[in-house]
Amino acid sequence: MTRFPWRWRRRPPLDPALQTRRERLPEPAAFAAANQRLVVLDLETSGLDLQRDHLLSIGAVVIEEGAIDFAQQFETTLRREHGKPGASVLLHGLAPSALAAGVEPAEGLLAFMEFLGDSPLLAFHAGFDRHMLARALKDDLDLRLQHPFLDIAELAPLLCPEAGLERGGLDDWVAHFDLYVPQRHHASADALVTAEIALILFSRARRRGFEDLPALVEACARRRRRQQTPSF
């Protein structure tokens, strides 16, 4: 298992300028109308271990007024100088040299939170992204992540049961919707294709009578509770 020594270092005091920016971050908004600003997030990490692996890069795009706003995109690679390359490098391609050339984690994370603003988040397998982002924010900014997430990996089988992809991955849904994806396992590219899938799903949701985002969030929560209820 790849180990990253920076995880265990004491966090240095936050620069006063960063503290001021952190204090100006807005309170997160709840899911509301379908046309509100949503940030679609994808992360690249050093691996899949929720406790030992680390956030390496962030990619995000914006859905607003029911469309992808290509004028609002975010991408950053965090500086990680002491990690040894692991198997995940074969997927995301972030070699140690790229990580060493990245931005300081506190600066990169704060820049993302400023881009995010008060917007709710969408992600594919959102539980993983939420945990990794929350841990990085706590470690590097002493900031608690409170923004709500909607998991596209939960929403897709809810609205498209005929696909037979109950536990399908992002590649499975890309193939199902016949989407053209020139690049995968890159945070910005994966955020964009997740946004494209989200728009397809939102269109299907409207046809099924879901008029706003809270209704979709609640439908996903009900489905999750049913799956967690033991059958006798």
In this prediction the pTM is 0.88
Average pLDDT over residues 110-122: 98
Classified as helix, coil or strand, 213 is: helix
- Reported as a single tens digit per residue, the pLDDT across 40-92 is 999 999 888 898 888 999 999 999 999 999 999 999 999 986 555 455 554 55
Which residues lie closer than 8 Å to 40 by C-beta, 6 or more apart?
60, 61, 62, 63, 121, 122, 123, 191, 192, 194, 195, 198
- 215 C-beta neighbours (distance < 10 Å), count: 15
d(CA 61, CA 190): 10
d(CA 232, CA 215): 29
d(CA 100, CA 197): 33
Q: Which two tokens stand for residue 156?
A: 């897709």
Which residues lie closer than 8 Å to 63 by C-beta, 6 or more apart?
37, 38, 40, 69, 122, 195, 198, 199
pLDDT band at 156 (very low <50, low <70, confident <90, very high): very high
Q: Which helix or strand (DSSP H or E) is residue 217 part of? A: helix 213-228
